[in-house]
Amino acid sequence: LPPSSQPCHGVWQIPDYVPVRNMTEPVVTLEGHSKRVGILTWHPTARNVLLSAGGDNLVILWNVGTGEMLLRLDEVHTDLIYNACWNRNGSLLVTTCKDKHVRVIDPRKQQVVAEKSKPHQGARPVRAIFMADGKIFTTGFSRMSERQLALWDLKSFEEPIALQEMDTSNGVLLPFYDPDSSIVYLCGKGDSSIRYFEITDEPPYVHYLSTYSSKEPQRGMGFMPKRGLDVSKCEIARFFKLHERKCEPIAMTVPRKSDLFQDDLYPDTPGPEPALEADEWLSGKDAEPVLISLRDGYVPAKNRELKVVRKNHPAPVVLPAWAPRGSVLSGQPTSCHPPAWGYCSVSESCRMRRSSSSSCRVRRSAASCSRADSSMARRSCWS
């Protein structure tokens, strides 16, 4: 929470190099929720479009490039939102809620296009994700507290086309989906295993493949995008398992004798470049993700710095990761001093005294300004 105690969330630029000092300020701060934000997910094809959902039952779409709110869905959910997921081209959303409803939403029209009450009969949380072909995969619990997975077709949303019961553990199953291989990985909170299934177009639709087991339970799990995998080792998935005191990478590989590039394992996959601008998507345009080949490995672009251009702002604000937001370099006002519009010099040198909080005290008595109009001069120092 900022000093004003207004709930907000910040977007941080993680540099490719190791910064020389800790990053203490986000590139942009987004304010709009009244309670804690628990869900953040980027749009799959539109530049700088970010979805956020919080404990206030509210879904907000942002343009991070301008710091403005694009859409606000405040009349859709009646209770806490468990998860939200885009479809492949970002035209639809699927959400699950504490009110036991799965909703498919057109965010630009702010309409619910499909809805299913109690996809799983149990009282525990439900998770839902989109498949590449538009089907919906859910995890939940039965009335007898058995963990379940189900596959749904939006054309007949009343009954699942596939339903399987797994076990009686009480951890919520978190689904991770690889559209290139049509594999869904299920990681349960508190479990020590990862189960994976293949999704096909023919019955029984969901096929169990195998289970990865370990000794320690997982407190959380992260999933590497396909372009970050090691294709020379035939790696098809990589997880980051969160333990109590460490983060463990887990690689899923397919044994192959040949050292050549495996085309069947690595079809062209979505890359980092957007297919649309935020304004284009908001106006109603849709586009498929821009695909890249992994044959020669993935090489990230050299300049990936986020440019925040505020509405009615005279120039882009490009904030390096090492620069405080309220600095002369950023051109943004600090909490105590306005921005320095001219070139100002302090006649007495600033005396810096290091303390435990790494703060510095600046003492200045007189200043001279190089600009002709001294009335427009501003004095500003940044440490």
For residue 273, give the CATH number of its domain.
Answer: 2.130.10.10
Average pLDDT over residues 98-122: 97
241 forms beta bridges with 221, 248
Give the C-alpha separation, 115 to 104, whole Å. 6
| Averaged pLDDT of the chain | 82
Cα 314 from chain centroid?
Answer: 29
The pLDDT score that the predictor gives to residue 143 is 95
Assigned domain for 45 exists:
yes
pLDDT in tens, 272-292: 999 999 999 999 999 999 999
The Cα-based distances of 68 to 139, 145, 205, 268, 280 in angstroms read 34, 43, 42, 33, 15
Is residue 181 over pLDDT 80? yes
Give the whole-number percent of the chain exceeding pLDDT 90: 66
Q: What is the pTM of this model?
A: 0.78
Mark whether 158 and 249 lie in a shared domain.
yes
Mark whether 337 and 272 lie in a shared domain.
no
**Segments forming the whole domain that contains residue 358:** 326-383
- Angle of CA points 72, 65, 75, to nearest 5°: 5
In contact, 175 and 168? CB cutoff 8 Å: no
54 forms beta bridges with 37
Place of tokens 């540099």: 15
pLDDT in tens, 323-335: 444 433 333 333 3
Assigned domain for 299 exists:
no
Model confidence band, residue 146 (pLDDT cutoffs 50, 70, 90): very high
Model confidence band, residue 189 (pLDDT cutoffs 50, 70, 90): confident
Mark whether 280 and 343 lie in a shared domain.
no
Mark whether 99 and 213 lie in a shared domain.
yes
Work out how many domains the chain is built from and give that number: 2
Average pLDDT over residues 198-223: 95
Give the C-alpha separation, 29 to 11, whole Å. 6
- Angle of CA points 255, 257, 263, to nearest 5°: 75
Residue-level length of the chain: 383
SS3 381: coil
Which of 236, 231, 194, 244 lies closest to 214 in space, CA to CA? 194
Mark whether 223 and 138 lie in a shared domain.
yes
